[in-house]
Amino acid sequence: MNLELLKATALLRAFGLAKIPMILYLSPSVVEASDSRIEVRIPLTYRSRNHLKSMYFGSLAVGADCACGLLAMRHIQKRSKTKISLVFKDFSAQFLKRPEDDVHFSCEMGPEIAELVEKTVTSGERCNLPLRVTATVPTRLGTEPVAQFVLTLSLKLQS
């Protein structure tokens, strides 16, 4: 793991410690990070699994949140002088297969998020964008999705 990914993982966990303890509790790590794509891994442990020994749907929701939230925060931070609040307006999920190992969550909508940030800054209005996240279990199923999520990102300038 390179230094940038270690730093991104540390920042994600620090955010979890300070703001959303459930994130820290699940020990996510950043596997890939660029302006266009983020991939986050949540390990399958006693903290994240259900009674069937597959990943609990609440843990899957946290992974989806982390993937697109981290990508959005990356683009917001590029506009360091602009304070923008980030919230998810809604959430939908399709569970396709049982995730029976560590789950990787990827969001590949970086360019669309960058446009949304610019639109929010120029318009001064709240702006929304549905973000797609795909969950996979590479060790067992390769790139075949185990779940797909849509979270609507809502951005607004802070007053």
Domain ranges of the chain: 3-157
Q: What is the mean pLDDT of the chain?
A: 94
Tell me the pTM.
0.94
14: confidence class by pLDDT, cuts 50, 70, 90? confident
Architecture of domain 3-157 in this structure: Roll (3.10)
**Residue 3, token pair as written in the block:** 């230094």
Segment 50-76 mean pLDDT: 96
Q: CB count, 10 Å around CB of 117? A: 23
Separation CA 37–CA 108 (nearest Å): 4
Angle formed by the axes of helices 57-77 and 3-18, nearest 10°: 110
Task: Between 112 and 2, name the one with better pLDDT.
Answer: 112
Q: Give me the percent of the chain exceeding a pLDDT of 90.
A: 81
Separation CA 11–CA 9 (nearest Å): 5
Three-state DSSP state, 68: helix
